Structure formats: C-alpha cells, structure tokens
Structure 1
Amino acid sequence: MKKMTAGEAMIESAVANGVDTVFGIPGAQIYPLFDGIYKHNLNLIVPRHEQSAAYMAMGYAKSTGKTGTFAVVPGPGILNTTAALCTAMGNCSPVVGLTGQVPSPFLGQGRGHLHELKDQAGTLGSIVKEAFHIDKAEDTATVMNQAYASVRSGRPGPVTVEMCWDIMATESDFVSPLSAPALEALPAINPDSLASAVDMIAKARKPMIMCGAGALHASEAVTALAELLNAPVTAFRSGRGVVAEDHPLGLSAVAARQLWDDCDLLIGVGSRLEMPYLRWGNYMQYERKPGRGPQLIRIDIDPAQMEIFAPDLGIIGDSAQVCHALHDLLLDKATPNPDRLDEIARAKTLAWNALQSVQPQMAYLDVIRQVLPRNGFYVPELSQMGFTTWVGGLPVYQPRTYVEGGYQGTLGFGFPTALGVKVANPDKTVVSVSGDGGFMFGVQELMTAAEFNIGLISIVVNNHCYGNVRRDQEMGFGGRFSGSELKTPDFVKLAESFGIRGYRVDSPQALKPLLEKCIALDQPCLIEIQSERGLESSPWPFIHPQGPLSAES
C-alpha cells in the first residue's frame, strides 16, 4: 500500500495504461495531478494554449496508434480543447483528456464556483466518445482503466475523465503500483458474413478496396488481399499509405476516380466512404444506402456504421483479422483480372499528369516529397497545399505518415498537431505545411517548440488571405471579399523572436536545399513561402470531380 493523492493515483493509473507523455497546463483544481506527473518523471510538454494540448495529444496518437493524453483545468480550460476533441472524434484518434471539477459540495449547484459549468460531463459527452467522472478516491484506478479501455475499444475516439477539486487532493492508501486490466478481446467474426463476402468477391471482375483510419494497423493484411485480387487500393485522407501509393495497386483519389465507373465491387475497410458517395456524388444529399455504383462490402469494427450507411454486406470485426480471413478463404477461389494492372497504371499516369495543373502547389509538393524520407511525416492544414494533398498531390508510402484532421475540417489543427507528431517520433522527420491564416490559430506554440526543442519543420505559405474563402467569394459572390483578406506578420522575424530559425523562399527551387538543411539540423525551423494573393490554382475540381478525366486532361 502507498499513501498518495487521488490526483497522483490518476497519473499512476495512466502510467499503468502505457502513458509516457502528457501534454498539459497546470491550474488550481489539478495541482495534485501535476504533482503526480512530476513524481513519476513523465515527459511533460506544456503548450501555450489548452487547445494545443489536445491537438498535440491527437498528433501523438494518430502517428503512433498509441493513446495520447492531455491534462487541463475544468470549465474554460477543458472547453478550449473541444475543437481538438471533436477533430479527434472525427478522425478516430485515441485521446484521453484529464481535468478537474469544482469542489464536490458545489457540484451541480450553480453557485458560481471557479470554472463551474452547468454540466461539464454532459457537455463533453455530447462531443467525445465517453465522459467519465470519478466520484470517490477509491474508484480512481477502476474509472481510469475504464477510460483507457474505452478510448481503444471498438472505434477509437477521445474520452475525458474529471474529478472534483477536493477529491483529487485527498490522500488515501492505494495498492501501488496500480495495474491496468487485460485488453478486451476483439469481436468474433460472423462466418456466414465471411462466406457471403467470399462469394461476392470471387465473382467480381473489377473490385476496388478503399481504406480509412480503421485500416491503419492492417497494412499487411490489406496488401495481401489486394495482391491476391489485383484490386486497386485507395483512400481519401486518414487511410492513405495503408498500401503504398508507389505500389502497383496503390493509387490516389484522382486515379481511383478513373476506375470507379467500371468497378463492380467496392470493399470499404475501416472507412466512412466519404470520397465515392459524397465527394464523387451529391455532397448535399444524405443517402442511408447507396443508390448507385457497385456492390458494397463494408468491414468495420463499429456496428453502428452499418446503419449509418448500409452496405450490401457488412462484416463487423477488426479490419486486419477480417482481411486475413478473406485472403485465406479466397486463395483457391480468386481469379484476378490479368488486365487490371495495366488499367491501374494508366489511371495513375493520367491522374498524376492532370494534377500538374494545380500550381504552384504541385511544384512545392513535389520538392517536399523528394526531400521527405519515406518514413517521414507530413501534416497538412486546411489550405491550398493541404487540399491538393487530399487527392494525391503528395504520394504517401506508409500508414500513419500522413496525419490529417478528417471530416471536421478544423482550421488551425495542423501546426500544433504536428508538434505532437514530432514529440512522439523524435527520430523521424516531421513537416507541417500551413497557410498563413490557419498557422496564426496556433502561432504561440512556436514558444513550445523552442522551449522543448521540438524539431518540427513548419512551412507557412503566406498568401495574405484565407485562400479558399477568397476564391469562393470571387467565384460565387462577385469578388466581394468579406473577411477573407488578411494582414500578416513577418514570419521570419516572428520565428526569430521565439528563438527559432526562420527562413523565406519564393520558389520550389529555393525550397529544396533549405528543406534539406532543416532536416539535417533537426531543430525547430520555420520556412515562409511567399505567395501572391489569389495565385493558386484550385484543387477542388479533383476533390468534387464531375466524372473521369479525359485522355487530354
């Protein structure tokens, strides 16, 4: 037995669940928790804004597959993290947020105690997977274990854990070290569903596989299944790199669109299938079941997905296990189309050539891909460069190396998320590319990068505007630019004021040697790309295509 505060017990429970790093900002209600971080000698990264703490935890989680953890004060502190929490919910990131509460006698009373919310757990519960409350000190380990189990069970997603101020400070006798329970078993796969899927796949002549975040751990299984079938494998955002895009069967969204009209079976693996049924269809019309296109098999660990978007056949289970099982069952039944590899190669060439029209984004992305190691990380932003990467402007070769925000489209996520990626992967190259608008949402974290020597390379494309908004206003609102044009700082001087190396370029040719230099330095660096307002070509015709490309495209 060991006497400790419940706050320290929260940290000991987190350590028992594999936590080695916490992103957080201390405050009155959670001092015992931070004292626990100190006593356990955890890696503590202190950002300059609570929102960034949660984004960093998300970057840590998304890039590793491990659970990311952050800690902030209740009320306005935890509310500051909600943009990151809804992003983590959207892109299925396992993130645990630790926070406090008012003293227990004030809970639910509306008395106006420091940081009091009407219903903090209820508010958070409407955003995250689960919001836990620890009512008694002796329940600390049990609830913490439940939280860390919940964040990873089924469809991964963020959870929060709160404890009242006085309870967290209470000293009690705990069994030490606290231990985590065994991991829950994965759901059993229905053999009848497998048999039906094998029959459908064996009959298909032009199947396609589409991956999402639920396939990030299943690269080997998906690749083996694809190679057995000669099936192209694609993804929109989160699932990129499950099959390398320089593999004969790996292809970008634009290349996949060239093969879509002839596809007779789509196998969705851990994906919401946003690309073919929303981006390639009617983005404003909800369909509960596909009204067009090929037969659809969905593989997903979340049964609710089969109701949200109903396939012809749904298989509930872990994507790696299901794909392995299908591969083995199809070994003597699959008859791959021998012409498929040539068709895929032509689609890839056509798509890549067509994307060259998106300039200057493609020229800069080509330089970044040349310099970025194969296992290096690229973190985009809601920007003209970022949108261009969605559809293949930057080929992705390994799962988890393209860290995207998902369907929330959260402006400003990129830079702080990339800091978390670099903290989790200190020996890998991490490049963040933001527009000037999105970067300013988290610019204060330059100080965090400097203080903790987080060797992130931050590229900021400075076009003095919210580029997409400005284009929409130009095309749809007669050039009435309302709130879309920005005055920006001197980013080089700004970086230097934080003690970070700052550089400026105005061409892809100038970027290449500088990026190579920054990678070699492995120190926090900022590179400003000067760009004229309204200069960029729009990538949106490739995100919402009206049909396949012509050979002349």
Structure 2
Amino acid sequence: MAKLSGGEALIKSLVREGVEVIFGLPGVQMYGIVAALRDEPSIKFVVTRNETSTTYMADGYARTTGRPGVAMVVPGPGIYNAGGGLSTAFSRSSPVVLIAGQIPRDGIGKNFGGLHEVNDQKEITNPVTKWQKQVLRPHEVPESIHEAFRQAQSDRPSPVHFELPPETMVEREEVELLEPAVIERKVPADSVIEQAAKEITAARKPVIYAGGGIARSDAEAELVAFAEAHQIAVLTSAGGKGTMSERHALALGGSLGPTGQLKDYIEDADVVIGIGTRFSMRNQAADKARLVHIDADPEMIGHVHQNSLGVVGDVKATLPKLQAAISAAGGGSWDSPAPEVSRIQEALANSEEELNQPQEDYIRALQEGAPDDAIMVFGMTQLGYYSRPRWITENPKSYIDSGYSGNLGFAFPTALGAKVGNPDKPVICVSGDGGFMYNSSEISTAVKYGINLVTVIYNDGHYGNVARDMDDDFGGTYETDFVNPDFVKLAEAYGAVGLRAKDPFDVKNVIPKALAMNKPVFIDVPVSRVPRPKQWSARAPWTTPQDGLLD
C-alpha cells in the first residue's frame, strides 16, 4: 500500500488499465486529478474546447481501436454537455468511461446552490450508461475504477459513469492499487450450442444478420470464418458495416430497405442467424423465419423477434464453438449462396430501382478519393444517410455513424478521437455544414495536438434534410437556412488548411491532396438539396400532416 491522493490513485489505476489518452477539460473541482495527470507522462491529456466533444472523441477512439475511451468533465453542466456523446456511445455499445467531478462532499444532496450543483447527478446519465458509481474516499478509488472498466467492457459494452468530489482528489490516505480485472468472455452452455447447430443444419436457406456487437467483441475474423465454413450469406446492419468486407463473395451489404433485393433475400430465409445485433431493423423483416440470436445481452433475446432461440454469449468465444457444432452435426444441405450473392451485388450496383441520384454519383466520387484503408466517420447529413446502404466498407472498425441516437454534430469530434487512436491511418470525416458548426471550435484542438484528419463539409447553407422533408410533406420549409462562415477562411484562422472543391464530384481529386498534406484539412464542398433516398420512401404516419388522431 502507498499513501496517495484520490487523484493520484485514479491516474495510477488508469495506467494499470492501459489508458493512454484522456479527453477532457481541466476545470474547477477537477484540479486534484489534473495535477496527478500532469505528473504521469504515459497518459496524454487532450483538452477540448467544450465538454460536448469529450465523450464524442472518447467514443471515436473506442470504436476504432477496440479499447475503452476515457472522458473527463466537471460536474453538473459538464455532464449535461457530455450527454450527447454518451447517448451515441450507448446506441452503438461503445465502452466509454466518463470520469466526472462532484461538488464538495458536505453539500451533496443538500440543494444549497453550490457551483455546478445538480442533485442526483448520476441520474443524468442513468438512461445512457450501464453503471454509475460515486466514491468519497481515496482508498475507494482503485476498486471502483477497475469495476468501471470491467463494466464498460464486459458482456454488452457500454458507457459508464464514475464520479468523486474535489476533496477526494486531494486528500491522502493509504491506498492499495489493484491489477485490472480479467474480462471473461461468456460462452453459452453446450446444450444451447447443440440446439442452435441442430436448427441451423436443418434450415433450407439460412442467412446471417451481422451487427455492431461483432466489432465490440473483436470477432470480425470469426464471423468471416463462420460464414465461409458453412457458406452462408451475410447481411449487415449499419452498425455491423465493416464486420465483413462488402466486396466478399458472401457479403450482401447493408442496404436493407422496405423493398428490394435484400428484403426479398431475407424474407425468403427460413433461419436468420443474428450475431451481435438487437435485430431492431428500420425495415422489419423475416417475420416468418426462426431467429437464432447470438448476443451478449440476454434482454435482447425475443425483444423484437418473438420466434427466437437465444444463444447468450460473447460473439468471439461463441462463434467457433457453434461453427464446430454445425460441422459435427453434418453441416447444412443448402447450396452455396455465392452465385445469388454475386447477382444481387451486381444488381445493387446498377439497379435504377435501388440507386438514388445524385447521391450515388456523390458517394462514388467520395469513395474514389478515399483510400481503401481509411476510417470514415459519416455525420447526420444527406450523404451520411445514403452512405449506410451504399458506402463500400472493406475493413473492420472503419465505418462510424451515430447509431439510433442520430446526433447532429457528432461526426467531427468523433473523427478527432478516431484519429488520436489511429495516428497512422487516414481518417476522413464527412459532415454537413449544419452539423459541422455544432463543434467547429474543435478545429483549435486539431491544430493544437496535430490531429491530422480530413473533414469534408457538404455545404448547402441549410439543414438540408429538414428543408426537403418540410417542403415534400408539409408544403413548405421554415427557418432551415444558415448564415455560414467561409469554411476555408475559418480553417485558416485557426492555423489549419482550408480547401474548396469545385463541386461534389471534385472531392475525388481534392481528398488525396488533403491527405498528402498531413495536417488538419477542411474541404468546403458546394452542394444542393438531394431527393429522399428510395430506401426511406416509406414514411411514418407522424411525419406527415394528419386529418384526425393517430392511434
């Protein structure tokens, strides 16, 4: 044991957990941690311009490296500001550890009106975190911070919230530092594996629906081996993009819509093998099929699809056992789907019924300009929506979106975190002008720390999707236009590089030049409104005017 302050105990515990970077702000009520962090050379402190960006950056770091991302904020308003990133991380099952301050111990829960005071502070994050913990003494820090990391990474990974008051950060007492807990990969019982293998081998036409849980489990190689061993086609969710190269002979891609080639394929399947997914598709499918559902979260089994066999376990540990069990059971009698997959892939690439213009030409220009190994972070923008079905993802953990949280403004800070975690890989952020302005001040952070990503800003001077929807469905838009800065001059004012594309097709020429500069580069791309993608032609009743009440 050693006599340490709570701040020192925290930082030394983070070192033992393998933490290399913290995204945060050095605000009041956090000084004891900041002082300890100043004296720890193995951890880099990346200071953002707003707490909003801390959790986004931690999420981008986590989802592209497979390691927990750590954010640090002041209590009260700092936590509220960080909430958007926690929401996104929760929607994508990303292991983000939020370290938050508190008001002084004697005032907690007293409602005295202290600086940054919010009563029941942990309740702020409760809906979007898996676990919350408050510690009041330095000796409590090591055990609690190690539990925070265990919770963040085990079973279904998720954000967690750890907090302590300012006294605890500076008080000193005997503290026992701990080794990190070993993250155990849970495996289903043999009887469940055997039942799943029996049902799959009896199938007429199985299909795999692959989700983001595969990436969280680092099980991309296991997925490919499983699909190849048993010749089963793979359809991915948006969160599952990258779990298998979309150029693979068994990859159907992720453009599942209300109609079309993929909808027909999954509707014709009699067994769907859902792997690391909630199976909560935008366009519900395979209602008549049996779902063999492999997931670490038992609450997801039967949550959406009632006719389910739950195979509750870690994907990386479970898939090899299931693969062996299917082989032992004699394998399936279905023919290889590769010829049909090839036909569907060709149809998806060329079918006028599936493609949208001009989005398709815009996305192809972007794909031509981006290296194959680039990490792409797509914002909630017109082209970002279209990228979910149409961007060709080849490598694991290389396609990032905001999940069902749908946070406008998340892309730029998330991409910064991705680049911090992957300094030797090209990272490209795709944003609209509306979303970019949410966190444009983080250009300062990119320049300060040499976070050399490329940000492509599709600039239509509007909240483009909202303007289109209001015009199409409500007979006219309202207050969706902007007064934007000159994005080239804005970048240059911070000391970054600003470039301007001639049009959306010119990005294929500008992006390689930007990447070669090895600096933070911001590309202003003029664009006009695009039509609603065909995949989203079906409209929810509440998106259009109604005569009377909706049930």
Q: Same fold (TM over 0.5)?
A: yes
Aligned match for 2:289, one of 288, 294, 303:
294
Residue 214 in structure 1 maps to residue 220 in structure 2: no
Which segments of 5 or more consecutive residues in structure 1 lack a partner in the other structure? Answer: 282-289, 547-553
Tell me, in whole angstroms, the C-alpha distance in 1 between the residues paired with 2:148 and 2:373.
Answer: 31
Report the counterpart of residue 303 of structure 2 in structure 1.
308
Give the deviation of 1:101 after TM superposition: 0.8
- Residues 246-305 of structure 1 show CA distances to partners (whole Å, capped at 9, x for unaligned) of 000112223532412211111110101232xx4246xxxxxxxx7x23111100011111
Residue 99 in structure 1 maps to residue 97 in structure 2: no
Report the counterpart of residue 147 of structure 1 in structure 2.
148
Give the deviation of 1:435 after TM superposition: 0.6
Q: Percent identity?
A: 33
Report the counterpart of residue 459 of structure 2 in structure 1.
462
Aligned match for 1:542, one of 535, 542, 547:
535
1:79-478, aligned counterparts within 5 Å?
Answer: 79-175=80-176, 178-216=177-215, 217-254=218-255, 256-275=262-281, 278-280=282-284, 292-309=287-304, 310-332=306-328, 333-335=330-332, 337-338=334-335, 340-354=337-351, 357-391=355-389, 393-478=390-475
How many residues are aligned here? Answer: 528
* 8 Å CA contact 1:228, 1:334 repeated in 2: no
Q: Report the secondary structure of 1:331's partner residue.
A: helix
Q: Report the secondary structure of 1:28's partner residue.
A: coil
* 8 Å CA contact 1:110, 1:116 repeated in 2: yes
Q: Report the secondary structure of 1:81's partner residue.
A: helix
Q: Report the secondary structure of 1:162's partner residue.
A: strand
Q: Report the secondary structure of 1:233's partner residue.
A: strand
TM-score with structure 2 setting the length = 0.92
Give the deviation of 1:336 after TM superposition: 5.2
Tell me, in whole angstroms, the C-alpha distance in 2 between the residues paired with 1:208 and 1:75.
Answer: 47
Report the counterpart of residue 484 of structure 1 in structure 2.
480
Give the deviation of 1:374 after TM superposition: 2.6
Once the two structures are overlaid, the 10-residue window that deviates more, 22-31 or 164-173, is 164-173
Q: Report the secondary structure of 2:225's partner residue.
A: helix
* 8 Å CA contact 1:280, 1:544 repeated in 2: no
Once the two structures are overlaid, the 10-residue window that deviates more, 250-259 or 456-465, is 250-259
- Residues 425-456 of structure 1 show CA distances to partners (whole Å, capped at 9, x for unaligned) of 00000000001111111111111111111011
* 8 Å CA contact 2:420, 2:451 repeated in 1: yes
Give the deviation of 1:335 after TM superposition: 3.2
* 8 Å CA contact 2:289, 2:307 repeated in 1: no
Tell me, in whole angstroms, the C-alpha distance in 2 between the residues paired with 1:362 and 1:92.
Answer: 30
Q: Report the secondary structure of 1:419's partner residue.
A: helix
Give the deviation of 1:92 after TM superposition: 0.4
Tell me, in whole angstroms, the C-alpha distance in 1 between the residues paired with 2:60 and 2:462.
Answer: 26
Distance 1:324 1:339, change over 3 A: closer
Q: Report the secondary structure of 1:327's partner residue.
A: helix
Give the deviation of 1:543 after TM superposition: 4.3
Q: Which amino acid aligns with 2:468?
A: R
* 8 Å CA contact 1:215, 1:320 repeated in 2: yes
Q: Report the secondary structure of 1:55's partner residue.
A: helix
Report the counterpart of residue 26 of structure 2 in structure 1.
26
Once the two structures are overlaid, the 10-residue window that deviates more, 449-458 or 181-190, is 181-190
Q: Report the secondary structure of 1:197's partner residue.
A: helix
Once the two structures are overlaid, the 10-residue window that deviates more, 259-268 or 43-52, is 259-268
Q: Which amino acid aligns with 2:141?
A: T
* 8 Å CA contact 2:503, 2:525 repeated in 1: yes
* 8 Å CA contact 2:143, 2:178 repeated in 1: no
Tell me, in whole angstroms, the C-alpha distance in 2 between the residues paired with 1:184 and 1:507.
Answer: 49
Tell me, in whole angstroms, the C-alpha distance in 1 between the residues paired with 2:179 and 2:372.
Answer: 35
Q: Which amino acid aligns with 1:386?
A: G
Q: Which amino acid aligns with 2:280?
A: E
Give the deviation of 1:205 after TM superposition: 2.4
Give the deviation of 1:163 after TM superposition: 0.5
Query: Deviation above 4 Å: which 4+ runs of structure 1?
Result: 543-546
Q: Report the secondary structure of 1:154's partner residue.
A: coil
Report the counterpart of residue 13 of structure 2 in structure 1.
13
TM-score with structure 1 setting the length = 0.92
Give the deviation of 1:496 after TM superposition: 0.9
Tell me, in whole angstroms, the C-alpha distance in 2 between the residues paired with 1:205 and 1:250.
Answer: 19
Which segments of 5 or more consecutive residues in structure 2 lack a partner in the other structure? Answer: 256-260, 540-551
Residue 72 in structure 1 maps to residue 73 in structure 2: yes
Report the counterpart of residue 284 of structure 1 in structure 2.
none
Q: Which amino acid aligns with 1:528?
A: D
Tell me, in whole angstroms, the C-alpha distance in 1 between the residues paired with 2:234 and 2:510.
Answer: 34
